[in-house]
Structure 1
Amino acid sequence: MANGDDSEQVRELQARLKQLKLMTVAPTGFYGSKTTAAVKSFQSKNALTASGSVDDATWKKIQKLTKKPTADELRPPTVNEADAPDPRCMTGRVMCISKESRTLAWMIDGKIISTMDVRFGSENTPTREGVFKVDRKEKDWVSTLYHTPMPYSMFFSGGQAVHYSADFAARGYAGASHGCVNVRDKGKLAAVFGEVQAGDKVVVYW
């Protein structure tokens, strides 16, 4: 397993690293910077080559020192813990969106005002990464491509928007978007929608 992987085995790895208190975020199944750092830390403490990738020796050692994760450990019912903000989120008014921790943080001048769980597009319809601006806001929008409701839409890259998803609220991470950033907490998103203005920054990062 290595940086960029996305699998159930990675989810298990993250749950085991959490048991070892090397990770604090909930398992997501995506191997990003936090997982790499946690693996490196484990390898350094256990006289293994600190590559940040999981080879056979590292995986066997992690398995030996942990127990098989429970269903709740693999998919905790609690909301995701926000990632450390990307440096590009630290100035101005920003929706700071981490793919690894699956969170959106609404930030003003480096201070987190609100955080919420999000999900992203599938491999076929990925959510674009980078720095964008809110082009427009639509409180009641229906997708012209997929004909599904997209309440509280804040468009930032072509047809991609941050919006509430009833499907996400019902199914969680069993589904995916068509590239948009789905939010499952309607109340939290409605409050942020009221504050965000056209031109505010959107940062999507791993």
Structure 2
Amino acid sequence: MLRTSALRTGLVATAVLAVSVGCTVQPGGSGPLTDARPGGTPVGARVTPGNGPAEPSRTESGEPSARPAADRTTPPPPPPAPSESAPETAPDPAPEPEEPEPLMASGDESEQVRELQARLRQIGHFDRAPTGYYGSVTAAAVSSFQTKRGLDPTGETDAVTWERLLAMTDRPTRDELRPPTTKPVAKPDPRCLKGRVMCISKNSRTLSWMVDGTVKSSMDVRFGSQYTPTREGTFAVGWKSRHHVSTLYDTPMPYAMFFSGGQAVHYSADFAARGYEGASHGCVNVRDETKIAALFDEVRTGDKVVIYW
């Protein structure tokens, strides 16, 4: 009886103690006691946000597991704010090579220009007598020469053009620099090769005074218009008149040498002033008074006159 009372007393005391420390008994009384945290969370359980600090989880070996890499990675810094920079500019273009200064160009007038024209005439690029003036005709002749030689056809004479021309031509003679006629003298007609002849070419518009096939002097001439043409053929000087004046047209005909009726070779002041813009009334006009005066003194009555194309 005493043993049973004492056992009951112990069981009651144990129950009271269990209630006082907050422990619970598993249903059925067979399971172990578990620790409880304030709020009732058992030991070893993870704490969700709001339940307090979480315990580190452990691996199978019992060591704390590493925190996920995402938890350790520092977030990347924000991209830098765009900065204002100077606008990109295209690089300066390479400077163009300087063109060589021309030795001679349009508007120049010199003895070197006269030599240029004479040399171009030697190789068929200039068909007039050198004047020493660099005009449009000379520029065109230089351009033609440059094109044929593969040079830039500027029409201006630079050092390269000049050196190439010097290498291809001879030093001009006095007659080449100052020829007696504007255009080259024509090849003499066969009728001009014997005796004393005024050999006159309508094609080249030149007169050559020839003695036994040798040209003694040459000069520019012009002829009559289509309404008063100069006759062609072989004639002879009928008479001469140094200070002649036309009775038909009342115009001076100095140094006149008549060869066919009223047609004569003579000096023409109009030809000297106007050039080939005018025409005669059938005569052969000469514009160089000095040359026709000298010819007048050379020619004799009866000397031959040949007019041909």
- Structure 1 gaps, min length 5: 1-17, 27-66, 68-77
Question: What amino acid is aligned across from residue 198 of structure 1 in structure 2?
Answer: T
Equivalent residues in 2 for 1:3-14, closer than 5 Å: none
C-alpha separation between the residues in 2 aligned to 1:195 and 1:148? 24
Give me the TM-score of the superposition, normalised by structure 2.
Answer: 0.43
1:92 equivalenced with 2:195 (yes/no) = yes
C-alpha separation between the residues in 2 aligned to 1:110 and 1:168? 28
**What is the CA deviation profile of residues 112-134 of structure 1, one whole-angstrom value per residue up to 9, with x for unaligned ones?**
00000000000000000000000
**What is the CA deviation profile of residues 114-162 of structure 1, one whole-angstrom value per residue up to 9, with x for unaligned ones?**
0000000000000000000000000000001110000000000000000
Question: What amino acid is aligned across from residue 192 of structure 1 in structure 2?
Answer: L
Equivalent residues in 2 for 1:30-69, closer than 5 Å: none
Which residue, 152, 156, 161 being the options, matches 2:259?
156
The aligned residue for residue 205 of structure 1 is: 308
1:165 equivalenced with 2:268 (yes/no) = yes
The aligned residue for residue 147 of structure 1 is: 250
Q: 1:113 to 1:24 in 2, by over 3 A?
A: farther
C-alpha separation between the residues in 1 aligned to 2:124 and 2:183? 16
C-alpha separation between the residues in 1 aligned to 2:277 and 2:268? 13
Q: Which of structures 1 and 2 has the bigger CA Rg?
A: 2
Equivalent residue of 1:187, what SS? helix
- Structure 2 gaps, min length 5: 1-119, 129-152, 154-180
The aligned residue for residue 124 of structure 1 is: 227
Task: State the superposition RMSD in angstroms.
Answer: 2.2
1:104 equivalenced with 2:215 (yes/no) = no
Question: What amino acid is aligned across from residue 151 of structure 1 in structure 2?
Answer: P
C-alpha separation between the residues in 2 aligned to 1:170 and 1:94? 28
Question: What amino acid is aligned across from residue 274 of structure 2 in structure 1?
Answer: R
Deviation at 1:80, TM superposition (A): 2.1
Q: 1:110 to 1:153 in 2, by over 3 A?
A: same
Q: 1:106 to 1:24 in 2, by over 3 A?
A: farther
Percent identity for Structure 1 against Structure 2: 67
Q: 1:85 to 1:152 in 2, by over 3 A?
A: same
Deviation at 1:107, TM superposition (A): 0.4
Deviation at 1:79, TM superposition (A): 1.8
C-alpha separation between the residues in 2 aligned to 1:177 and 1:25? 24
Contact preservation (8 Å) 1:24, 1:81:
no
C-alpha separation between the residues in 2 aligned to 1:101 and 1:24? 15
More relative contact order, 1 or 2 (CA 8 Å, 6+ apart): 1
How many residue pairs were aligned?
Answer: 140
Give me the TM-score of the superposition, normalised by structure 1.
Answer: 0.64
Identify, as 1 or 2, the structure richer in strand.
1
The aligned residue for residue 55 of structure 1 is: none
Equivalent residue of 1:125, what SS? coil
